[in-house]
Structure 1
Amino acid sequence: MGAVAVNRKRTEDSFDFNQQSPCPASKKRRFSFGITSPDSNKPYSSAISRISRYPDAKAPLRREIHAPSRANLRYGLPKPKPYDDAKRRAFDALRFFSKDNKRIIDLGEDKEVPVNVKGAVSEVSSVEVVDCDLEEEEEKKNAHVEPPPSSLRRVDDDTTSSMSLARQEAASSLEAYKKLLQSAERRNSKLEALGFEILFNEKKLSQLRQSRPKPVEKALKVPDEPFIPLTEEEEAQVYCAFSAKNRRKVLVTHANSNIDITGEVLQCLTPSAWLNDEVINVYLELLKERETREPKKYLKCHFFNTFFYKKLVSDSGYNYKAVRRWTTQRKLGYALIDCDMIFVPIHRGVHWTLAVINNRDRKFLYLDSLNGVDSKILNALAKYLGDEAKEKSGKDVDVSSWDMEFVEDLPQQQNGYDCGMFMLKYIDFFSRGLGLYFSQEHMPYFRLRTAKEILRLRAD
């Protein structure tokens, strides 16, 4: 492509794209670098001849070339105008200018034409002419502030914005972590304080237990009677009663209580079985008969059956009238207030416990093989004793000064089925005036011995 050094000013007509072209109206004007003459098929030999086809244009104002602004990058480029499009195409052609070689490098046609640098003009689109002097002056003015390419600026802006967002996110996450750490430290301090309080209270409780005065018990020699082993004949009798052929057979009948003991009922004394009401009530009757036979050898006791407490404390609450006739002088032959101990078996759904009214030591005891506590039971028995004494003996017994003790130092069960057997042995040993000198390992023996005593209807 050719270029001529001229300083020709442009008029407004040069920017009028609605101006009639000197070419015939039937053909559209083309902007090409190889425009041919209307008179001949040969291309123009010089740029001057090509420029002469258009009238001289004089621009009313000098126009400066500006770099794209940040707003264009952010909100998008404006819609190009006709003359802006022509200018863009012209500068696309004039990409590099070499002062040393004094020529303009046209990237459009890859041709190099040496020209005079001073006043060189690149006529690219046959519409717009650029003054090289003005361009050089503008380059000198803006040499110290050379705007970076738009693509680089966009990348820099995106990188800066992304870095700022990343810093903000990091700062926010750090603040959240600090708050979480502070809350965790506060929680840990509270947990440490609670742990210290727990240890302090446990030590204080242990000291109180150690300082509690232990009840003075009489030093009694443990007799061999509670642990007399069964003979071979007695064991054979028990195992025969446990056999399947005797399940529906009535083995014994207790006349005073009118309770029949069948082989199926006696099965509750086999290992790992729960004791039932019939076996417990018959055994308590046998303990009372034992005391009657040898009153000097055993304490004077009364043994309530398993239904007494259910009647005394029903769903409607405490009801003395429901059990008032259970302890008449005609039935018992003695008054409860005259007994040393009164035993009350308690059935709590799937667990047997024992309550004791100890008239001799003026206290109420509660014994649980699982070391449980229930003050409601002892309160009900205290009220019952007052009503019973007033009803049967006409005496006012002040039980407010009596102690209520939940016995802790007692044999504990180590399984889930021996609670009934433990309850019976609490009664047996207390009625003998003995301490509770047995443990879980004695339970298999006590089951066989209880079955033997029921089959013979005699407690030893």
Structure 2
Amino acid sequence: MNREFRVEAYPNFIPFIDRKKLSSHPYIFAPVCHSGHWWLWLINTRTRKCQILDPLHKKAPSDERKDINKFTGYVFSRLIAYAGGKPLEKGEKEKEIKAPYVKISGQKTSYDCAIYVMKWLELIEPENIKKGKYEWDNWTQEEVDHYRVEYASRILFSEINRQRDHAIRESSAIRLSKPSSVLLSPFCQINSEDVNG
């Protein structure tokens, strides 16, 4: 990192920054995706400590990932300072923020990382973070497949998709074929065995 990260340099994002929440919430959760892999940053704004939950790795697998993690810590430190809080580190140390990887069991396939991150965002409670207790991380592949179907349903049937579908149906310029009734059946479920097979 050669130059300072300044929140003000990204005016399009500033309306989405809630200064009050950034400076008052005890934890900030930051999902990160790079090269098709998701992991989760936990930032404790009170203790100024960070942790990484990665469903696949127990430590940064490459120098590139180490750099991405340092940059993520730096960006969040700058965001907290922008919101009126104290940065996670001072001076040049701010560019070298290190976060330990939490030892948890994780994904059993090469493609479930996003499912784990989304489920962690639902389940993480401050008490478990303080105690270092993560008893809910050892899911069976069947449970992960169930979560995938659950999330797919939420996304497909979300209000924004209903609005999009309505706009498409009303448009004379866009015509899409109707989905197969078999795929719409509640009895049709695709799991990891179907993907791997």
Q: TM-score, normalised by structure 1?
A: 0.26
| Alpha-carbon distance in 2 for matches of 1:432, 1:388 | 21
* Partner in structure 1 of residue 153 of structure 2: 452
Q: After TM superposition, what 4+ stretches of structure 1 lie above 6 angstroms from structure 2?
A: none
1:437 to 127, 136, 154: 136
| Alpha-carbon distance in 1 for matches of 2:135, 2:67 | 25
CA contact (8 A) 2:32 2:41 kept: yes
1:423 to 95, 98, 117: 117
| Alpha-carbon distance in 2 for matches of 1:404, 1:335 | 22
Answer yes or no: is 1:404 the counterpart of 2:99.
yes
| Alpha-carbon distance in 2 for matches of 1:331, 1:403 | 24
Q: How does 1:25-424 map to 2 (within 5 A)?
A: 319-321=5-7, 322-323=9-10, 326-328=13-15, 332=18, 334-371=20-57, 372-373=59-60, 374-393=65-84, 395-399=85-89, 404-408=99-103, 410-424=104-118
- Kindly state the Cα deviation for residue 336 of structure 1 after the two structures are TM-superposed: 0.9
Aligned residues: 141
Letter in 1 for 2:136: Y
- Kindly state the Cα deviation for residue 424 of structure 1 after the two structures are TM-superposed: 1.2
| Alpha-carbon distance in 1 for matches of 2:46, 2:86 | 17
Letter in 1 for 2:44: N
Distance 1:386 1:362, change over 3 A: closer
Distance 1:350 1:331, change over 3 A: closer
Letter in 2 for 1:405: P
CA contact (8 A) 1:390 1:396 kept: yes
Distance 1:323 1:436, change over 3 A: farther
Give the unaligned 5+ runs of structure 1.
Answer: 1-312
- Kindly state the Cα deviation for residue 345 of structure 1 after the two structures are TM-superposed: 2.0
| Alpha-carbon distance in 2 for matches of 1:419, 1:427 | 12
- Kindly state the Cα deviation for residue 388 of structure 1 after the two structures are TM-superposed: 2.5
| 1:108-148 Cα shifts (integer Å, max 9, x gaps) | xxxxxxxxxxxxxxxxxxxxxxxxxxxxxxxxxxxxxxxxx
Helix, strand or coil: the match of 2:136? coil
Q: TM-score, normalised by structure 2?
A: 0.55
Helix, strand or coil: the match of 1:353? strand
- Kindly state the Cα deviation for residue 331 of structure 1 after the two structures are TM-superposed: 5.6
- Kindly state the Cα deviation for residue 384 of structure 1 after the two structures are TM-superposed: 2.5
CA contact (8 A) 1:327 1:335 kept: no
CA contact (8 A) 1:429 1:436 kept: no
CA contact (8 A) 1:430 1:436 kept: no
Helix, strand or coil: the match of 1:450? helix
| Alpha-carbon distance in 1 for matches of 2:74, 2:106 | 29
Residue identity over aligned pairs, in percent, reads 19
- Kindly state the Cα deviation for residue 317 of structure 1 after the two structures are TM-superposed: 7.2
CA contact (8 A) 2:49 2:88 kept: no
Larger mean CA deviation between 435-444 and 417-426 belongs to: 435-444
CA contact (8 A) 1:318 1:380 kept: no
* Partner in structure 2 of residue 61 of structure 1: none
Distance 1:420 1:390, change over 3 A: closer
CA contact (8 A) 2:5 2:78 kept: no
CA contact (8 A) 2:48 2:88 kept: no
| Alpha-carbon distance in 2 for matches of 1:323, 1:440 | 41
- Kindly state the Cα deviation for residue 334 of structure 1 after the two structures are TM-superposed: 2.6
CA contact (8 A) 2:77 2:88 kept: yes
| Alpha-carbon distance in 2 for matches of 1:320, 1:391 | 9
Distance 1:416 1:398, change over 3 A: closer
Of structures 1 and 2, the larger Rg is shown by 1
| Alpha-carbon distance in 1 for matches of 2:74, 2:17 | 22
Distance 1:359 1:378, change over 3 A: farther
CA contact (8 A) 2:80 2:87 kept: yes
Distance 1:343 1:425, change over 3 A: same
| Alpha-carbon distance in 2 for matches of 1:436, 1:398 | 28
Instruction: Give RMSD over aligned pairs.
Output: 3.5
| 1:253-272 Cα shifts (integer Å, max 9, x gaps) | xxxxxxxxxxxxxxxxxxxx
